[in-house]
Amino acid sequence: MTEFWWVYLWPVLWIVIKILLLVVPLLIGVAYLTYAERKVIGAMHLRRGPNVVGPYGLLQPIADGMKLFFKETIIPTGANKVVFLVAPMLTFSLALIAWAVIPVGNGLVIANINVGVLYLFAISSLGVYGVLMAGWSSNSKYAFLGGLRSAAQMVSYEVSMGFIIITVLLVAGSLNLSDIVRAQQETIWFVVPLFPMAVIFFITTLAETNRHPFDMPEAEAELVSGYNVEYSAMTFALFFLGEYANMILMAGMTTILFLGGWLPILDVAPFNWIPGPIWFALKMAFVLFIFLWVRATFPRYRYDQLMRLGWKVFLPISLAAVVIVGGIVVAFDINPLGR
Amino acid sequence: MVIQALAFYLFSIITVVAAVMVISARNPVHSVLFLILAFFNSAGLFVLLGAEFLAMVMVVVYVGAVAVLFMFVVMMLDVNIAELRQGFLQYLPLGGIVGLVLLMELAVVAGGFVFSPEVSERFAAPIPVPSDIANTEALGNIIYTKYVYFFQAAGIILLVAMIGAIVLTHRSREGTRKQRISNQVNRRPEDTIEIKKVSTGSGI
């Protein structure tokens, strides 16, 4: 019996505990990201933002969640029921499972796999299915147009995103996310040598998460709310949470690839007393702030301009960067991990 | 080991069932969704084999790109389900013959399959510990050295296919309005704005 406990049950239980330790703060982060978005944009518009529910409006996300939870889930008669219900679940679960490989601190990762970057890339490329399925199964023209736009947009920007990730991999010499951060510990945060790539990566993450100024799939002025127009109550809430969890995920990816993950700003006394996960969260908060800042600043792109930017500007630049960075890495024998 | 075996059976059963559903589902969109499920679970099988790079590339390429385009096209088809049902029996003999021929060919190939002597020697060699050498690294070392010509040939075939697809489908239509960024950037105020002095009480 004790063997059964130590060999089978305990590892499973331990994994469940680790998952909970990661997912619970993540979901709280998602809830308060919506609050932060409203507060930050409010401040930028010279408004106050939510300030009624709780002190400083801090209970607003909980109130919103309760409201969505108690509303009725309406399924349109013309909808394809199974696909309609699977779509939000898929979006939400994909946003969560990607976190399995994110190292929030030195060694603090659920699955330290050797192809971590590829896993993240694969999961983020699956995100398009939630939107596509929702758009098709709703049997509504607005939702359908939103779904089509989203598919084209996400596939286009994935290409240049992949090339930018390759430049980072070339410099770091590893596909393991923890090793990429350690390579930055040995040298310098990759945002310094690869600054143009970091900027393009950030812009592609905006397009990948369907955020402003690339929120074509849910452009409320043309498509009402795009792919999620037929969704109500918890089905809508799952889309909403998935979208924000994806934003946090992309911020985490930017942090790991370019901003040195869990590393402190300077490796000197007051800074390296602060534990790694806190640095990681601070850096993600910084990237997320830029997400919100962009939303408050820029008007929406027109669809053909969006495609032009993806295919005619970012793709050639990132492709050239792979060649140039690869050449430099070989010429100067850059190998931060010493392998 | 037990968990791995359970995972293997789970993945393979879902793969087979999904593959059957791809051809038996009435609705083409459902077929594509089952195809994605089959791809995804076969990626899981690759992970169990220790080929994590192949698994991830499978998901990125097939699920993330190829199937999205399938879905994109299939979603826009206006499908009449009753019509599809009629066609099924009509095409069954032809499809059945093609399937049978393929099955026979597969049987012939599988029957005559032997490992080359070089590979069978390797079986005796100890399998390297996965933590010593990364899967991706091993694959890269062999693709870019020993099989570099095949790799380049595959790349050229893909390039030709890509150019072919563009040449076949691209047509420039008359009367479409395009945004030319260079023209917009090169515009100067002198070219477009004319400042006139208008005396009070009279028009231009």
Q: Which amino acid is at A279?
A: W
> Which residues in B lie closer than 8 A to residue A162 (C-beta atoms)?
60
pTM: predicted TM-score of the whole model, two decimal places: 0.84
Q: Which of A135, A155, A304 sits opposite B68 (nearest CB)?
A: A155
| Residue B170 in domain | no
Q: What is the tens place of the pLDDT at every residue in A203-216?
A: 999 888 888 788 77
Q: For residue B170, give how far its alpha carbon lies from the nearest alpha carbon of chain A (Å).
A: 16
Q: In whole angstroms, how far apart are CA B45 and each of B8, B14, B19?
A: 7, 11, 15
Q: In whole angstroms, how far apart are CA B119 and each of A16, B116, B122, B124?
A: 42, 5, 5, 10
CATH of the domain at B54: 1.20.120.1200
Q: Do B136 and A121 touch (CB under 8 A)?
A: no
Residues 6 or more apart whose CB falls under 8 angstroms from that of A4 comprise none
Q: Which of A121, A129, A175 sits opposite B36 (nearest CB)?
A: A129
| Residue B61 in domain | yes
Q: Which of B2, B56, B68 sits opposite A119 (nearest CB)?
A: B56
Q: In whole angstroms, how far apart are CA A155 and each of A120, A158, B26?
A: 15, 5, 27
Q: In whole angstroms, how far apart are CA A284 and each of A121, A249, A288, A320?
A: 18, 9, 6, 28
Distance (Å, rounded) from C-alpha A299 to C-alpha A281?
Answer: 29
| Residue B46 in domain | yes
Q: What is the tens place of the pLDDT at every residue in A161-173?
A: 999 999 998 888 8
Q: Do A129 and B60 touch (CB under 8 A)?
A: no
| Residue B11 in domain | yes
Give which of B53, B75, B177 to mutate to test A binding, by max A Cβ within 10 Å: B75
Q: For residue A128, give how far its alpha carbon lies from the nearest alpha carbon of chain B (Å).
A: 8
Cβ atoms of residues A197 and A168 within 8 Å:
yes
pLDDT, averaged in runs of 10, over chain A (339 residues): 76 86 90 91 89 86 88 83 88 89 85 85 86 85 83 85 91 87 87 90 89 75 75 86 90 90 81 84 92 89 85 92 92 78
Distance (Å, rounded) from C-alpha A180 to C-alpha B47?
Answer: 22
Q: Do A118 and B72 touch (CB under 8 A)?
A: no
Cis check for the bond before A275: say yes or no (omega within 30 of 0). no
Task: Tell me how many residue pairs between chain A and chain B have CB atoms under 8 A apart.
Answer: 75
pLDDT at B80: 61
| Residue B145 in domain | no
Residues 173-202, chain B, touching A (beta carbon < 8 A): 179, 181
**Number of domains observed in the structure of chain B:** 1
pLDDT at B160: 96
* Residue B159 contacts A where some CB pair is shorter than 8 Å: no
Q: Do A136 and B30 touch (CB under 8 A)?
A: no
| Residue B132 in domain | no
| Residue B43 in domain | yes
Distance (Å, rounded) from C-alpha A114 to C-alpha A179?
Answer: 9
Q: Do A128 and B59 touch (CB under 8 A)?
A: no
* Residue A118 contacts B where some CB pair is shorter than 8 Å: yes
- Domain containing B65 equals 1-82
DSSP state at residue A176: -
| Residue B18 in domain | yes
pLDDT (tens, 9 = 90+) of chain B, 204 residues, equals 677 888 899 999 999 999 988 888 878 888 888 999 999 899 989 888 878 888 888 888 888 888 888 888 888 776 665 566 666 677 788 888 998 999 999 998 888 777 777 777 766 666 655 555 667 777 888 888 888 999 999 999 999 999 999 999 888 888 878 778 888 888 888 888 888 888 887 776
Q: Do B64 and A128 touch (CB under 8 A)?
A: yes
Does the ipTM exceed 0.90?
Answer: no
DSSP 3-state assignment of A105?
A: strand
pLDDT at A198: 92
